[in-house]
Structure 1
Amino acid sequence: MANKKNIEKAPYITKSDAKDPLLQLRKVDEGSFKIVVLSSFIIVTGSYAFGTCIGFTAPVQEAILRDLDLSIAQFSFFGSILSVGATIGAITSGHVSDYFGRKRAMRISCLITLIGWSAIYFSKGSTSLDVGRLLTGLGIGVFSYVVPVYISEIAPTSIRGGLIALNQLMIVLGISCTMLLGIVATWRQLALHGILPCVVMLFGLLIIPESPRWLAKVGKKDACEKSLRRLRGEDADISHEVAEVQESLEIVEHLPKVGILDLFQRRYIPSLTVTVGLMAFQQCGGVNGIGFYTSEIFLAAGNSSAKLGLALYAFIQIPINIMTSILIDKTGRKPLILFATLGTTLACLLIGICFLLKGYGLLLEWVPSLVVLGVVCFISSFSSGYGAIPWVMMSEIFPLHVKGVAGSLVNLVHWVLAWLLTYTFNFMFMWSCAGTFFIYATFNAFAVLLVTMLMPETKGKTLEEIQASMTPM
């Protein structure tokens, strides 16, 4: 047993401590707290790179069409091929990070993304433009899995949720900054902006520790303890955490190797239902349709300025995502995402009703403003938890031995549906503006039911406690 002095300094969290976030934070000594936060901030530069890729096409369409003499069809292919690359990255992300380690997987992804942006910057025609976009998609497909997993594996329980939520905040920041810069910068300058976080991350990865849980998984016990010591502080008693990780791994060693089909065993169904369900409803709830085509929605409602959509989308998410990062470890995951899904459901209903009224020629003077209100409410609600928490849950509730395979599947679902919903929005919108948003509202309502009935609360629990409760032996 650790002596009293060591226990007071220990940064790991006991079950009794989990009830008091302030006490938990005091248990992390200042030096190790800085290492955890620094490591997390370096890693989420990958999330910022993710955001630059997502936000790139919205402000540059007209300029690229003009400069490279492309057709609308060619530009649409350029925009959508990002999701194809991200789907490939999603399929491989779990295996790559399990085989090479979290740091090397991110280094590989960073180099691929950097090469992709360079190809876009030097493009003289559609071929190099498409290849560059495909490569950036491949890179961010891996980022979208490895970033939250790495943070979940290094962070103390008290601040794990908030640090993982930085992933979504930095994606949003990347999108917003790219859209705003795109109003004043050329598209080639905007490509350079996408290169910047890749360069920062490559240098940052040289100074941060590898995930101790991955090191333990591959049998590097000494390296695991060294990494934990650096993350928890030289004076910390890490024996409890090391023992917990080792115990978890010993159980894992007696389990058979897991493939994607094995995830459908009874023991993994609860975790799979929650994570795949959240990710599927997140995408089918309309986030990419509204995010990519905000200006088109405003114009269809009768607003005269398309730039208003870009400005609102860029600004509204940032403060709300910051608030989410702060609240996620205080209020818990479940209350935040329940509020968020209720909000997106009501927002889609409002927008759908507005377009229905417009179709019947009713309240025409109110419809444009109410649609703006609906879009703002949707983006605000989504940013308050719906964007971040599915990724948090993915990184928390799967056991270590299936996390790679499960993460690849969840990531794959995310990107396939992201492509499908982005691709179909214009067709659906031409079919029925109101009907499109009523369909989105239905999926968001299903998300409310999923959260209420099946999603567990993981606030204040260690990864091992969460996974034991979700996958009983």
Structure 2
Amino acid sequence: MSFRDENEEGRDLKKPFLHTGSWYRMGSRQSSLMASTKAIRDNSVSVFACVLIVALGPIQFGFTGGYTSPTQSAIIKDLGLSVSEFSLFGSLSNVGAMVGAIASGQIAEYIGRKGSLMIASIPNIIGWLMISFANDSSFLYMGRLLEGFGVGIISYTVPVYIAEISPQNLRGGLVSVNQLSVTIGIMLAYLLGLFVEWRILAVLGIVPCTILIPGLFFIPESPRWLAKMGMTEEFEASLQVLRGFDTDISTEVNEIKRAIASTSRRTTIRFAELRQKRYWLPLMIGNGLLILQQLSGINGVLFYTSTIFKSAGVSSSDFATFGVGAIQVLATLVTLWLADKSGRRVLLIVSSSGMVLSLLVVAVSFYIKDVISNDSSLYGTLSIVALAGVVAMVVSFSFGMGAMPWIMMSEILPINIKGLAGSVATLANWFFSWLVTLTANMLLDWSSGGTFTIYMVVCALTVAFVTIWVPETKGKTLEEIQWFFR
């Protein structure tokens, strides 16, 4: 039975929502290309272009997360909300993301990675417009849910798409662009929030997805997804443009075909089969990392950075918040370079260990501030120490715990359960993100020192989890990683 025959059933049932297009397929069959396509002849240039386009999705993701920090006081005042009502507003993006996560894997499997991003863009745009025109909490909440739904799909699809199109020697750095884009989105929300009021800021939130939609028509679909669907011609054309028209792709084509042929066409497996090491181990690692990422408290810190700095006694809290966002972007840029040099496992251990130390500093600072006078000279010093600790936490998170769990999820999940397993992992991530976001303000009101102590304990558990269970995937093809778990 041929490769095409083996996947004919999948091809009949699942088709790409956005076709791959002909602008590059014609060029891949010609020995002489037009001058306008000369740039994409160079190896990997097309991969970089694709990553830059889909990175608009995570920028939207980050803008959603960062929006609540500079707008909290103004929204509460204009719409007459209580702190708990605003906390609900902030957390509703995570509720919407949970719904999006449930659907993300199956949507990406049935209509392709590009089609999934197209579908995710529409509710994001509608949600931001609803927030901008909100006159009461109902429109505010509905808009937040809609944008969260789109973000839930984006958070799964973008790292998977990037991992599936990237050469093995660049995959870690390129998938890290996902987290870099998230931090850029957060920083932009912090920065623009200094100069525009919250309704205008919501309108600006539609820009990334508005650009992403037309951009999707100019990039190829994931070659591994096309291969899985039995679309051999489209699969080879897509891979050719991603690797460069002068590159011999025959070896990689054969590896992908063998990997696809060795997996089942079924979209579901029997529950008993999950006891096999090749399933339970990657599932446990992927889910564990994404859950621990959120329980570290990072979203609680990023969503309410201005509030935390005010409680620490920092006078220019909004500018300090923007500074944190900018530092996070710079730290994540370093991660792009380190991901394929130091390795995923080392970065996870260094990152979570750094978070333990920085959270310890923040917790101790708040504990001491609670027992001394506001007029004490030590009070001002502790404010600076707490600020430095929060910055150190964000930097440590950016070095590994921000990007690496998403990279590992996109690399280690078996292809025949990737849609379902990816949805479950993304759902778990967003559920705990919602839990942390919902409780962060209330925990900080209870005890700032106690809140950061809880986060510190989780990060310590993360160090142990990575040391015991997480393998190194640097330098391996996706197919080699799957054979490792077998």
Normalising by structure 1, we get a TM-score of 0.89
The alpha carbon displacement at 1:127 in A equals 2.2
Where in structure 1 are there 5+ consecutive unaligned residues? 1-27
Greater shift in the superposed pair: 369-378 or 135-144:
369-378
CA distance in 2, matches of 1:286, 1:95: 29
Residues 258, 405 of structure 1: 8 Å contact kept: no
**Structure 1 pair 64–255 and aligned structure 2 pair: CA distance change class (3 A):** closer
CA distance in 2, matches of 1:359, 1:64: 29
Secondary structure at the aligned position of 2:134 is classed as: coil
The alpha carbon displacement at 1:426 in A equals 2.7
Deviations 1:439-459 (A, max 9, x none): 211110111112212111111
| Corresponding residue for residue 21 of structure 1 | none
The one-letter code of the counterpart of 1:89 is G
Deviations 1:233-285 (A, max 9, x none): 22222111111111111111277723788655543121122211111111111
Candidates 92, 98, 108, aligned match of 1:87:
98
Candidates 410, 417, 420, aligned match of 1:395:
410
The alpha carbon displacement at 1:365 in A equals 4.5
CA distance in 1, matches of 2:331, 2:304: 21
| Corresponding residue for residue 276 of structure 1 | 287
**Structure 1 pair 159–29 and aligned structure 2 pair: CA distance change class (3 A):** farther
The alpha carbon displacement at 1:432 in A equals 2.8
Task: Say whether 1:423 aligns with 2:434.
Answer: no
Candidates 225, 229, 238, aligned match of 2:240:
229
Deviations 1:43-87 (A, max 9, x none): 110000111111112112233334444444443332221111001
| Corresponding residue for residue 257 of structure 1 | 268
The one-letter code of the counterpart of 2:441 is N
CA distance in 2, matches of 1:121, 1:432: 33
For residues 28-427 of structure 1, the aligned pairs below 5 Å read 31-253=42-264, 257-258=268-269, 263=274, 265-361=276-372, 363-427=378-442
Secondary structure at the aligned position of 2:315 is classed as: coil
Secondary structure at the aligned position of 2:65 is classed as: helix
* Residues paired across the two proteins, number: 444
CA distance in 2, matches of 1:289, 1:146: 24
Residues 68, 124 of structure 1: 8 Å contact kept: yes
Deviations 1:342-378 (A, max 9, x none): 1001111111122222334395453212111111110
**Structure 1 pair 261–310 and aligned structure 2 pair: CA distance change class (3 A):** farther
CA distance in 1, matches of 2:251, 2:230: 18
**Structure 1 pair 370–73 and aligned structure 2 pair: CA distance change class (3 A):** closer
Task: Say whether 1:448 aligns with 2:459.
Answer: no
The alpha carbon displacement at 1:107 in A equals 0.5
The one-letter code of the counterpart of 2:264 is E
Residues 267, 416 of structure 2: 8 Å contact kept: no
**Structure 1 pair 37–387 and aligned structure 2 pair: CA distance change class (3 A):** same
Where in structure 2 are there 5+ consecutive unaligned residues? 1-38
| Corresponding residue for residue 19 of structure 1 | none
**Structure 1 pair 84–263 and aligned structure 2 pair: CA distance change class (3 A):** farther
Secondary structure at the aligned position of 2:220 is classed as: coil
Task: Say whether 1:462 aligns with 2:462.
Answer: no
| Corresponding residue for residue 5 of structure 2 | none
**Structure 1 pair 437–78 and aligned structure 2 pair: CA distance change class (3 A):** closer
Report sequence identity in percent: 43
**Structure 1 pair 180–262 and aligned structure 2 pair: CA distance change class (3 A):** farther
CA distance in 2, matches of 1:300, 1:203: 44
**Structure 1 pair 198–433 and aligned structure 2 pair: CA distance change class (3 A):** same
CA distance in 2, matches of 1:114, 1:432: 37
CA distance in 2, matches of 1:43, 1:410: 21
| Corresponding residue for residue 14 of structure 1 | none
CA distance in 2, matches of 1:66, 1:430: 19
CA distance in 2, matches of 1:290, 1:78: 16
CA distance in 2, matches of 1:122, 1:424: 27
CA distance in 1, matches of 2:216, 2:445: 46
CA distance in 1, matches of 2:216, 2:114: 7
The alpha carbon displacement at 1:422 in A equals 1.3
RMSD: 2.0
The one-letter code of the counterpart of 1:423 is L
The one-letter code of the counterpart of 2:433 is A
CA distance in 1, matches of 2:399, 2:41: 29
CA distance in 1, matches of 2:94, 2:324: 21
Normalising by structure 2, we get a TM-score of 0.87
The one-letter code of the counterpart of 2:57 is G
Residues 260, 405 of structure 1: 8 Å contact kept: no
CA distance in 2, matches of 1:159, 1:232: 12
CA distance in 2, matches of 1:313, 1:262: 45
The one-letter code of the counterpart of 1:317 is Q
Secondary structure at the aligned position of 1:383 is classed as: helix
The alpha carbon displacement at 1:382 in A equals 0.6
The one-letter code of the counterpart of 2:480 is E
The one-letter code of the counterpart of 1:224 is F
